Amino acid sequence: MTGAKRTTIREVAERAGVSTKTVSRVLNNEPHVTAAVRERVNAATRELDYHPNMLAQGLVRRRSYLLGLVYEKPSPSYVVDLQMGVLDRLREERYRLIVLPVHSIATRAHEVTGLLRSAALDGVVLAPPASDHPRILRELTSAQLPFARIAPTQMLELGNNNLLDDVAAARGIADHVLAQGHRRVAIILGDPTHSASQARLEGFGQAFAEHGLDMAETPRGQGYFTFESGFEAAQALLSAKPRPTAILAQNDDMAVGALMAARDLGLDVPGDVSIVGFDDSEVSRITWPRITTVKQPVYDMAFRAAEMLIQQLEQGERADSVVHPHTLMLRDSVAPPRR
């Protein structure tokens, strides 16, 4: 059985009453084509359901028209926001997206650049922690493979940067908890291989200092940005004496794990213990009580990262860094401590 017949550029040209060269100019968004001719060609491509052969275009221009997205085992909603941000920016563009999840950037960093180069990508969007890994940044720069970074914290002279002030965001949410009157506060730390974990801890420390508290005395549990690690850390923290009246979790998955641990121990949230997260992922909005958290504009950062890459590939210029705002999402998981 043979496949469906593919419409050719010659048929589009005949339908539009122009040359194949003119069709090519329109499809490649080149100048020197009148608006009337451009509309005739676009109408012909719609009528004939014509889709240009990206491989052939790439061979002519020595481009693959493929962009990569590298991320490490984040929460499902985080990955959806990343992918949708890039995909929405690529809509109506000739570029296509290749998703490249890496189980552990810390242990596989030496393989990442080779993987990207073997995929013949034109550019790549790096999500944390790849966006901050020195080896990956140096090797991509040496290979002259354009890249855009999401929430980097170091080596900001490299690549196209979409910045988020994790320190200020963490300070804000910790201040909200402390302003409720909580003094026995515990922390669930994120993955130590992510620079965001240290930045958020620094922000917590600034809020503690502003309230006259010594964070060195604050109990901590080690998490890894997963539900399971948050559950285990919270079980240990909430079983201690005296029990903390609030938990600062460094992301939403761990905050929900802490919520489940509290329920297993017969504790009311927020009556017995207040819990906050970070990210404003979907899970924070569908649990009960809904989790107070920090909204990171992940979709916006991914959208802008893709835009930066296209600008660099089409115009040969790096974009200026963009600082994206955060927002405190005050919900139902925080209340003043019981007296």
Q: pTM here?
A: 0.76
Q: Which 8-state DSSP code applies to residue 52?
A: -
- pLDDT number for residue 3: 46
- pLDDT number for residue 236: 97
- pLDDT number for residue 74: 65
Report yes or no: 222 and 230 within 8 Å, Cβ to Cβ: no
Using CA atoms of 310, 313, 319, 324 in order, give the dihedral in degrees to the nearest 10: 30
Query: CA 189 → CA 192, 229, 297, distances in Å?
Result: 8, 10, 21
- pLDDT number for residue 12: 81
Give the span between the Cα atoms of 77 and 71, in whole angstroms: 13
Q: Which of the following CATH numbers is that of domain 166-296: 3.40.50.2300, 3.40.630.10, 2.60.40.10, 3.30.465.10? A: 3.40.50.2300
- pLDDT number for residue 5: 60
Residue ranges covered by each domain of the chain: 9-52, 65-164+298-325, 166-296
Give the span between the Cα atoms of 337 and 339, in whole angstroms: 6
* Residues in contact with 334: Cβ distance below 8 Å, sequence separation at least 6, in sequence order: 176, 177, 180, 246, 270, 274, 275, 276, 292
Nearest to 298 by CA among 320, 312, 310, 282: 282
Q: Do domains 9-52 and 65-164+298-325 have the same CATH topology?
A: no
Q: Which of the following CATH numbers is that of domain 9-52: 1.10.260.40, 1.10.10.10, 3.40.980.10, 3.40.640.10? A: 1.10.260.40
- pLDDT number for residue 107: 86
Report yes or no: 9 and 23 within 8 Å, Cβ to Cβ: yes
Domain covering 65-164+298-325: architecture: 3-Layer(aba) Sandwich (3.40)
pLDDT per 10-residue tile (average), the chain, 339 residues: 62 85 77 84 82 50 80 78 92 86 86 82 92 92 91 89 94 97 96 90 96 92 93 96 96 96 96 95 91 93 94 87 93 92
